[in-house]
């Protein structure tokens, strides 16, 4: 991507989006962020705030989307309900945002001469599976979230064929790193801080994952925008069980804690979520952060965040210590 390219990032105040925005701004792109702040935060983009334009708004607002898409040369579409459990408790918001919102962006991009439209899809489109998933594996989503992401993919492909939108898909697996708002590593950290004696694992603990550090995920999204042709799995290279992950968190945060597995998990949890990333590697993807480094930097950022939260609470409190 050339400097000064006009880039629209939907969901740019979210976890992955804010890291992408920081990278694009540091590389001299003209970045517009569209985010309704439903799960993201303006704090997430504060370090780039003097170099980006932030628009608080909703991708379900067709007029707003039209205006912003008309000014863009590249679109990274990350705004979504990004949570499987939330899609089960509120499938309507999931559908409205992930399907109608994606439609609004695609429809507004017709005739715009875009260089690339990158859609943040998800490994959830594959559903439960015992195989290592390649982009050729048949999609079979088990949650509303996975289904709406697959709808987004299909809509995009139809717009690619019918209206020449340069639509490319990043099927993102588990991303982690600073500013993550949820997901297993975030929960392990906070649960151990709350109860240093015990860490509960949802399910058996035998679930397998290929975690991707957020800066590597940003590398992947940039590569897909520049060189991508169709659909790419985005995941880390190391395979890890949730049990082993729990052990790492216990060792680092509270070595005396006992690990117990509940046996049952949340609806939509998948036993084995492993990715063949060779197609992305052929584009030039090399994961730069190994799990040990990535987990250290996540824990450091969560420690810093929790200290500044306590500090802010103390500073604004009208409690008896003042
Ligand atoms: P996130 O929740 O931190 O980011 C989503 C952002 O979209 C938030 O800032 C939120 O405020 C915004 N948003 C939600 N609904 C909106 C709406 N209607 N209009 C405008 N903005 C809206 O999630 P994330 O983890 O950063 O995920 C980013 C993208 O990557 C999502 O599309 C998600 O489905 C996909 N993804 C993420 C992961 C992961 O491991 N984090 C895995 C697979 C796919």
- Look at residue 265 in the predicted model and tell me its pLDDT: 73
Dihedral class, residue 263 (left if φ above 0, else alpha if ψ from -120 to 50, else beta):
left
**Separation of CA 78 and ligand 1 centre (Å):** 5
Closest CA to 40 of 14, 21, 22, 76: 14
Q: Which residues are identified as catalytic?
A: 145
Q: Which of 82, 90, 120, 178 to mutate to test the pocket of ligand 1 (most atoms within 8 A of CB)?
A: 82
Gap between the Cα atoms of 68 and 62, Å rounded:
10
Instruction: Kindly report, residue by residue over 175-203, the tens digit of the pLDDT.
Output: 999 999 888 999 999 999 999 999 999 88
Put simply, whether the predicted model's pTM sits higher than 0.85 gets the answer yes
Q: Is 33 in the pocket of ligand 1 (CB under 6 A)?
A: no
Residues 78, 34: Cα–Cα separation, whole Å: 10
pLDDT, tens only, 228-258: 999 999 999 999 999 999 999 999 999 999 9
Low-confidence ranges of the chain (pLDDT < 50): 310-322
What whole-number distance in Å separates Cα of residue 53 and Cα of residue 32? 5
What is the per-residue pLDDT for 128? 82
Q: CB of 192 closer than 6 A to ligand 1?
A: no
């Amino acid at each position: 991507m050339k400097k000064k390219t006009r880039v629209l990032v939907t969901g740019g105040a979210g976890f992955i989006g804010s890291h992408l925005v920081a990278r694009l701004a540091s590389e001299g792109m003209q970045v517009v962020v569209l985010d309704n702040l439903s799960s993201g935060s303006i704090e997430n983009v504060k370090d780039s705030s003097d170099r980006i334009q932030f628009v608080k708004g909703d991708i379900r607002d067709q007029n707003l989307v039209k205006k912003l898409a008309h000014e863009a040369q590249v679109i990274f579409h990350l705004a979504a309900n990004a949570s499987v459990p939330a899609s089960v408790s509120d499938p309507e918001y999931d559908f409205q945002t992930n399907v109608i919102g994606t439609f609004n962006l695609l429809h507004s991009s017709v005739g715009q001469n875009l260089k690339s439209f990158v859609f943040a899809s998800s490994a959830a489109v594959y559903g439960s599976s015992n195989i290592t998933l390649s982009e050729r594996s048949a999609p079979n989503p088990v949650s509303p979230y996975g289904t709406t992401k697959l709808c987004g993919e299909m809509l995009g492909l139809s717009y690619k064929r019918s209206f020449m939108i340069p639509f490319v898909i990043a099927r993102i697996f588990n991303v982690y790193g600073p500013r993550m708002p949820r997901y297993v590593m975030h929960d392990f950290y906070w649960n151990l801080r709350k109860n240093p004696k015990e860490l509960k694992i949802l399910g058996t603990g035998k679930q397998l994952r290929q975690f991707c550090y957020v800066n590597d995920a940003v590398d992947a999204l940039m590569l897909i925008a520049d060189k991508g042709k169709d659909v790419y799995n985005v995941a880390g290279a190391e395979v890890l069980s949730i049990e082993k992950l729990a052990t790492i968190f216990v060792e680092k945060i509270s070595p005396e804690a006992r690990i117990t597995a509940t046996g049952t998990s949340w609806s939509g949890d998948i036993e084995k979520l492993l990715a063949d990333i060779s197609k992305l590697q052929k584009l030039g993807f090399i994961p730069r952060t190994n799990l040990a480094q990535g987990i250290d930097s996540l824990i450091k950022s969560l420690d810093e965040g929790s200290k500044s939260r306590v500090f802010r609470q103390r500073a604004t409190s009208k409690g008896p210590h003042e």
